[in-house]
């Protein structure tokens, strides 16, 4: 039996278990997806123990994505982002990957959004903002990063090719001439507020909101009213999971089965 799982604290409300269990059922795999909540001081023991026990792969979530970086061999993108959300124990040493970036890119790709040469605005410079900014830049976008804490945005922009860092005040000027907009803050999660001024939105935008509770955030509703392409945070969550499964197994993920399991619960 293959054992996969999620390392985080807390992990009780995670949607990853049903999403991945749906894969095993669809493919007839003898596998389980288990959640683990080690104490922070036990993280290294947990990762080493998982390797020793033959665990096939782990996802990693808050608060361990950064700390796991030093416990595995990160690939180039995870090292640049500074965070690992997927550990592959099928390699020696175990490797670390960041499939949040793949989640962003696949979410735009499935809607036919061409990122190459685009003007992109990323709101947020935390974990999701970092993964998004690197992903968009790797795809050929010029990225403006806007964050409440300006220093975080400028520090991130120093690392991302062709990027600039700003405060949130830049949104009313940058969004009107952008092709792509991503909300990578927690603003809008379980609250009816948007991080982007309504009047800056327009019909030529493709907007991804990383927030997935609710799926229809105020930002996405306002963007849709102006004719923008809108992509909810469930797509990013779905595709990061699919990319992790593909990394672990080398098999194509049954995205339809994962989607149903996920969206049934969102």
Helix (H) or strand (E) holding 96: strand 95-97
CB 244 within 8 A of CB 96: no
Q: Pick from 63, 65, 68, 6: which is nearest to 32 by CA?
A: 6
**Which parts of 186-245 interact with ligand NAP (CB under 6 A)?**
186-187, 189, 195, 210-212, 233, 236-237, 240
| Residue among 184, 207, 223, 244 that touches ligand NAP (CB under 6 A) | 184
| Interface with ligand NAP (CB under 6 A), residue from 47, 128, 137, 180 | 128
* Cβ proximity to ligand NAP, 125 vs 143, nearer residue: 125
Q: State whether residue 204 is helix, strand or coil.
A: coil
Q: Give the closest residue to 19 by CA, choosing from 37, 2, 3, 33.
A: 33
d(CA 182, CA 208): 5
Residue 125 contacts ligand NAP per CB under 6 A: yes
- Tokens 């930002």 label which residue? 219
Note if 65 is an active site residue.
Answer: yes
Calpha distance 142→67 (Å, rounded):
29
**Does 126 participate in binding ligand NAP (rule CB under 6 A)?**
yes
Q: Which stretch binds ligand NAP (CB under 6 A): 8-16, 18-26, 39-47, 183-191?
A: 183-191
Active-site residue among 65, 80, 235, 247? 65
Residues contributing to the site for ligand NAP (CB under 6 A): 100, 103, 124-129, 147-149, 152, 184-187, 189, 195, 210-212, 233, 236-237, 240
């Amino acid at each position: 039996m293959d054992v996969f799982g999620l390392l985080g604290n807390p992990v009780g409300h995670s949607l990853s278990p049903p999403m991945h269990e749906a894969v095993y059922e669809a493919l007839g795999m003898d596998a389980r997806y288990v959640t683990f909540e080690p104490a922070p001081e036990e993280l290294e023991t947990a990762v080493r123990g998982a390797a020793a026990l033959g665990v096939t792969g782990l996802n990693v979530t808050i608060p361990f994505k950064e700390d796991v970086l030093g416990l595995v061999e990160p690939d180039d993108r995870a090292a640049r982002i500074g965070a690992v959300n997927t550990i592959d124990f099928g390699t020696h040493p175990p490797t670390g990957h960041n499939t949040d970036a793949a989640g962003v890119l696949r979410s735009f790709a499935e809607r036919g959004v061409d990122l190459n040469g685009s003007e992109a605005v990323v709101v947020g410079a935390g974990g999701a903002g970092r993964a998004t900014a690197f992903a968009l830049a790797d795809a050929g976008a010029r990225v403006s990063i806007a964050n409440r804490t300006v220093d975080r945005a400028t520090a991130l922009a120093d690392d991302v090719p062709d990027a600039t860092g700003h405060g949130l005040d830049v949104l009313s000027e940058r969004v009107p001439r952008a092709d792509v907009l991503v909300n990578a803050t927690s603003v809008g999660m379980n609250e009816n507020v948007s991080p982007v001024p309504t009047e800056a939105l327009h019909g030529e935008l493709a907007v991804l909101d990383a927030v997935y509770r609710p799926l229809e955030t105020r930002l996405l509703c306002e963007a849709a009213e102006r004719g923008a392409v809108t992509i909810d945070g469930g797509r990013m969550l779905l595709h990061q999971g699919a990319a992790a499964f593909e990394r672990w197994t080398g098999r194509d993920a049954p995205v339809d089965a994962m989607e149903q399991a996920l969206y049934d619960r969102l």
